[in-house]
Structure 1
């Protein structure tokens, strides 16, 4: 064969192979679903430019559907969010956005879509469930998991993949405006609720973002973002406890940092907190997302550095992978100039891409816009919102069993107070301040009472100011009625809406915990009429209300109860629903009486030389008052009565590897079916370092039929008795421990003793 013939043959062969290649495009490994996530990430990162990597570390807010190309300009980002549209509009936009990411960017990297979801999905028209504090007062984790499963269904059809919740902060500083976003004051309760919350969303393959890591909820002076004081033992025993449990038991794919500093060290810029503790000690495997502006605040707030670029470098090297402000914008140039090691960018990008693959975004990133009208705010979800509100309400006072109302006694009822005819939601709800979405207390009572009772209404005062000009109108309405129902409390800001006149919410902290404005004066004037007075507190936190405790005929508390709050409260007031909520945060006697959390050290309230005083007889601890809460953690009455019949332990001598089983028999001795919350507390009788006077370590809520006796089974791993000793070692010390069974932290029915043996 001649050289020319050989050349022609080779050319023909190459053309044939080329034609085959054109006919069948090779799929890059990162798009191959059969490969491991690690291999897919490796392949994708090997194809990415430095700029493409840097953009994966950033959030880019989405806009309207027709703005996608202008906003994203052919580039893929790590994350996005949208806060101002309806569920249907957002679903259509997110579907178009993901198509854009897959087809209009060089490598087709999808984007993580985020939303607030603390009380349901933030997008307009989604179901408005009760706020986190109300979720905590249900003492029913299974119910909260049902809530987030339902909210997750809404998120899924909208195309949302990430929820910026739950809040694992501990509500020990009641002046802080964000108490409403927490599950309460107890780390064990917070853990149980947080685990249930995350599991519900994850059932729909939606990742949650526990926050704010760490110790954010006890700011100095109650001022949002202020320094949190504490030591290593307090950090590990208290503030890290919910994060440790949640990370271990749910394996969340993301986590959010906090704005504050702990013991003088800004968390967001600290490798010790964000890497050594979070990843080393707690075993977190996902990616870290900055709180909004927390990286920039290393410069503008904490004054750690005068340069924004340096703030970004500090946060990235500390372990903050994805940033929501501008501090990561110049990373490409910083790497080129030798001011930032690319290994930190690669590490963060790897974590973010891994989560995108774990969520299945490269294979199925879309929601289902056509299903939005059927799934979002369905009748079943609205009914669930009411069920949660029902179980969250806490009956604290019920003198002479005035509740449930005997409607045969009352021909007319005055419904008054600033919170009587307003739907009140917590921060991070989509609704506007004056929305008619949902049911107010006045509306709920009118629905329930119908034409049987005449209902009179007057606000009497607003919820914040010192104006008294409307009090007379409310008093007149009460005088003309047989009974007064007075709704008082707080109002929260709403995300993205006007915060004017807010008395709770993010950035709205109180210097005084008394009822804001002239609400107590309204109550006092109504009391003078001599008419029975039922007080309904609708608030985002406990307030100091000793006058109410002394003078109200009944006190019913419901934290922000979602869109069905008014109907829920009405059904409880007339006895269609038996209240079963329990206090997840203690009420103070006064502002100066705080902190008033139940799980204090024995030295913190008990003084061996002095006794609490009173205004009539001043003494010395405090001079005019007791250091105990007005109503303690775990408290809550029912329309029925319960008798704690028996308590038995599976063993009395155990090791730190064992688990104790406690069985408690409780009888419903009243005339109405009701739910009781059996609470198990532990106390270390003698310990090498200070331990709380009691700590919640198990609880269970069950319905007990009238006349029936239920057996409650509670499990206690002995490892839960561990402390951090003087050498900062986590150990279960041998010795005696009290097992206390009660219906509240200050109402213990049985006390048993176990012995833990040493090794």
Structure 2
């Protein structure tokens, strides 16, 4: 009897538990069931939301500190948050508490998207500072940048960040523009390749990147940030759209950022044609569109496209801007209630935002790992990664008589002078509380390398921006007392100019002149007059006009902002511990009036025969006192070894316009005595085309390490579809005809020319 009772009790308990579990399952909404599909969960959640809750999902809300959450959010969930001015540890703690609050203290438990700038590392104090995006581009090594963003992504992951507001896919064609440093360079193919590498690293984690600024933002009129970009439909599609098309197709980012500017008079952030017809319907983008800061309000205040903030919000929402980072979308609720705006546009945008949140798994686990912040953030491995990128990004553009690498036994003393000689320029979007001298400066890097074997004398001589020449004589004295001068010049920038010192590059810091700012050229000329050997180290966020430097320096090293280890990287390159392997991703102009200087111009823009520069008495033709050529060209960069392009073979030379792949095998020999890396570059020229096409277009490259005295075979491939153009009917077609395949080490150093035929 006792056994029967025990069995009965067990069965009864099982029935009760089963019933309880069934009731709990019935009470749990479908959107909280991780086994349901993303679309099922969105379909279940959306009808449960009030109009106010929906609109809040289309807005950003600054999160403040961990103790401010209740006062700021008041039981309400928002689309995203974007916190910057805190340490990594503080931010991780705050995000942990914020997501817990979102899941447990808001009516529907909707998590919040946590966004961060990440162009050169995570924009939180204490995170690793990697080289700026322009420096990443000059590595010509997408795989290296993938490793870099994996390291940065690990830091973002433990902090609890799920959206990175990078990479910049703008094309650096207007060098006066302050944000050149944030781009990968002047070439759309290079930008696409580097952008894909960049995104793949971050998206290893539950993170989406946000390629920006869609689109054509990098060529503003006069170089002024946010100014109109002039051009036609063909230029837009062939040039500016290309990196976005490749990146969206090959990496599937869940977010895209719109831009401030207009194209051909149409404000991008208010254009349904650009933000929906092209971005979504044509390019196949499936995520949500995130406005640039204030770009929706600017439809009224800047572009004057509409009369009121309400109209700006309506225009942007209908165009396809899903989430507004400023406050224009606060007007949406009253517009819906008054009948001025159809709620279907709200529902569509909310659906996109929720889809991203479900896809990233935020409803199930939105948390970082604050306990691991100290271990992961700014780890020794990540700092070493920053140094490796800096090593590969520096470009040697002149080396007379092989003065570099320095033979340290020849020098008892070296003068290290110039405004960038003892400053670490972190670059735009590198918000940091660190003193610029906390990163490794050039002077500090040299001290680490030479120790007390060589006397180093340091005088700035001048600053980046002013015409004050009072300190130049002190720099001259330091040089006269030394055996060699290393002069560090260039530009300076930091996040929106938040440093107490003036910026000459970065967002909002555009230049009307591309000559060296301030008294820097006067400093160089004074040092040259001493007769001492002069090595120029150009640390900058963009190319400047430096024909005098090319003609007078004994050696020139270019380093786009190289992150926190830039000084040690430069010291290792100058002294030979590292063999430079960077290539120019932007061409250097001869003067401001010489721009644009990008290599991939039309044949009509620079190819017509022109006379030599003239004189006032005999001005000649074209540029009467100059020539329309860069100082240094795209793809150019020297090494401490030498490379010989031995052979070039094509597997096939005749192709169908409907498809196929051009395969080129190049054999390169290292004829020097040092191991070195060479970027083998492939350019294409359409010999005859129905519409104008560039004289050269980069279509493949491969960076390869070649041991001293050894040969390597490099295979480069081009899909036939890459040879297409937009014809007079704006159709993308591959036209039959001959195409020249150019192989070499720079755009102006072509070794092999082969011809293929497309039928």
TM-score by length of 1: 0.96
Match of 1:688 in 2: 690
Secondary structure in 2 matching 1:675 = strand
Q: Is the 8 A contact 1:129 1:385 kept in 2?
A: yes
Q: Summarize the Cα distance change of 1:612–1:665 in structure 2 as closer, same or farther, 3 Å threshold.
A: farther
Q: Summarize the Cα distance change of 1:746–1:21 in structure 2 as closer, same or farther, 3 Å threshold.
A: closer
Match of 1:400 in 2: 401
Q: Summarize the Cα distance change of 1:614–1:689 in structure 2 as closer, same or farther, 3 Å threshold.
A: farther
Match of 1:119 in 2: 120
Match of 1:47 in 2: 48
Partners of 2:329 and 2:412 in 1: CA distance: 66
Deviation of 1:616 (Å): 9.7
Match of 1:718 in 2: 720
Structure 1 unaligned segments of length 5 or more: list them.
1-14
Q: Is the 8 A contact 1:704 1:710 kept in 2?
A: yes
Answering whether residue 455 of structure 2 is matched by residue 464 of structure 1, we say no
Match of 1:697 in 2: 699
Deviation of 1:17 (Å): 12
Answering whether residue 678 of structure 2 is matched by residue 676 of structure 1, we say yes
Q: Is the 8 A contact 1:191 1:245 kept in 2?
A: yes
Q: Summarize the Cα distance change of 1:20–1:739 in structure 2 as closer, same or farther, 3 Å threshold.
A: closer
Partners of 1:405 and 1:614 in 2: CA distance: 40
Deviation of 1:608 (Å): 4.2
Match of 1:733 in 2: 735
Q: Summarize the Cα distance change of 1:618–1:639 in structure 2 as closer, same or farther, 3 Å threshold.
A: farther
Select between 745-754 and 614-623 the one with higher mean Cα deviation. Answer: 614-623
Answering whether residue 306 of structure 2 is matched by residue 294 of structure 1, we say no
Deviation of 1:611 (Å): 5.0
Deviation of 1:655 (Å): 1.3
Match of 1:239 in 2: 240
Partners of 1:533 and 1:706 in 2: CA distance: 29
Answering whether residue 111 of structure 2 is matched by residue 110 of structure 1, we say yes
Q: Is the 8 A contact 2:655 2:757 kept in 1?
A: yes
Deviations 1:167-210 (A, max 9, x none): 00000000000000000000000000000101100001210000
Match of 1:3 in 2: none
Match of 2:89 in 1: 88
Listed as ranges, the matches of 1:312-711 within 5 Å are 312-432=313-433, 434-495=435-496, 497-498=498-499, 500-608=501-609, 610=611, 612-613=613-614, 618-656=619-657, 657-711=659-713
Secondary structure in 2 matching 1:468 = coil
Partners of 1:318 and 1:463 in 2: CA distance: 42
Listed as ranges, the matches of 1:183-198 within 5 Å are 183-198=184-199
Q: Summarize the Cα distance change of 1:513–1:499 in structure 2 as closer, same or farther, 3 Å threshold.
A: farther
Partners of 1:459 and 1:417 in 2: CA distance: 4
Q: Figure out how many residues of one structure are paired with residues of the other and give that number.
A: 743
Partners of 1:668 and 1:404 in 2: CA distance: 18
Q: Is the 8 A contact 1:167 1:182 kept in 2?
A: yes
Q: Is the 8 A contact 1:403 1:575 kept in 2?
A: yes
Match of 2:30 in 1: 29
Deviation of 1:498 (Å): 3.8
Deviation of 1:497 (Å): 2.1
Secondary structure in 2 matching 1:381 = helix
Q: Is the 8 A contact 1:144 1:193 kept in 2?
A: yes
Partners of 2:191 and 2:547 in 1: CA distance: 27
Partners of 1:416 and 1:64 in 2: CA distance: 43
Structure 2 unaligned segments of length 5 or more: list them.
1-15
Match of 1:275 in 2: 276
Q: Summarize the Cα distance change of 1:485–1:47 in structure 2 as closer, same or farther, 3 Å threshold.
A: same
Partners of 1:134 and 1:24 in 2: CA distance: 53
Partners of 1:48 and 1:635 in 2: CA distance: 57
Deviations 1:31-70 (A, max 9, x none): 0011111010000001101100000000001101000000
Partners of 1:438 and 1:151 in 2: CA distance: 17
Deviations 1:544-596 (A, max 9, x none): 00000000000000000000000000000000000000000000000000000
Q: Summarize the Cα distance change of 1:552–1:610 in structure 2 as closer, same or farther, 3 Å threshold.
A: closer
Q: Is the 8 A contact 1:163 1:208 kept in 2?
A: yes
Match of 1:10 in 2: none
Deviations 1:688-716 (A, max 9, x none): 00000000000000110000001011011
Q: Summarize the Cα distance change of 1:615–1:118 in structure 2 as closer, same or farther, 3 Å threshold.
A: farther
Deviation of 1:621 (Å): 2.1
Secondary structure in 1 matching 2:45 = helix
Deviation of 1:77 (Å): 0.2
Q: Summarize the Cα distance change of 1:668–1:514 in structure 2 as closer, same or farther, 3 Å threshold.
A: same
Deviation of 1:310 (Å): 0.7
Partners of 1:258 and 1:137 in 2: CA distance: 25
Answering whether residue 170 of structure 2 is matched by residue 169 of structure 1, we say yes
Q: Is the 8 A contact 1:168 1:183 kept in 2?
A: yes
Partners of 2:447 and 2:652 in 1: CA distance: 54
Q: Summarize the Cα distance change of 1:41–1:413 in structure 2 as closer, same or farther, 3 Å threshold.
A: same
Partners of 1:118 and 1:615 in 2: CA distance: 48
Secondary structure in 2 matching 1:360 = coil
Listed as ranges, the matches of 1:63-74 within 5 Å are 63-74=64-75
Partners of 1:193 and 1:456 in 2: CA distance: 39
Secondary structure in 1 matching 2:447 = helix
Match of 1:157 in 2: 158
Q: Is the 8 A contact 1:431 1:437 kept in 2?
A: no
Secondary structure in 1 matching 2:588 = coil
Match of 2:147 in 1: 146
TM-score by length of 2: 0.96
Deviations 1:644-700 (A, max 9, x none): 000000101011301011010010001110000000000000000000000000000
Q: Summarize the Cα distance change of 1:461–1:609 in structure 2 as closer, same or farther, 3 Å threshold.
A: closer
Partners of 1:32 and 1:223 in 2: CA distance: 50
Answering whether residue 228 of structure 2 is matched by residue 207 of structure 1, we say no
Partners of 2:740 and 2:79 in 1: CA distance: 50
Partners of 2:754 and 2:404 in 1: CA distance: 35
Q: Is the 8 A contact 1:682 1:738 kept in 2?
A: yes
Partners of 1:292 and 1:499 in 2: CA distance: 24
Deviation of 1:19 (Å): 8.3
Q: Is the 8 A contact 1:611 1:621 kept in 2?
A: no
Deviation of 1:488 (Å): 0.2
Deviation of 1:536 (Å): 0.1
Partners of 2:606 and 2:25 in 1: CA distance: 77
Secondary structure in 1 matching 2:649 = strand
Deviation of 1:501 (Å): 1.2
Partners of 2:633 and 2:250 in 1: CA distance: 29
Partners of 2:491 and 2:55 in 1: CA distance: 43
Q: Is the 8 A contact 1:432 1:494 kept in 2?
A: no
Q: Is the 8 A contact 1:166 1:209 kept in 2?
A: yes
Match of 2:311 in 1: 310
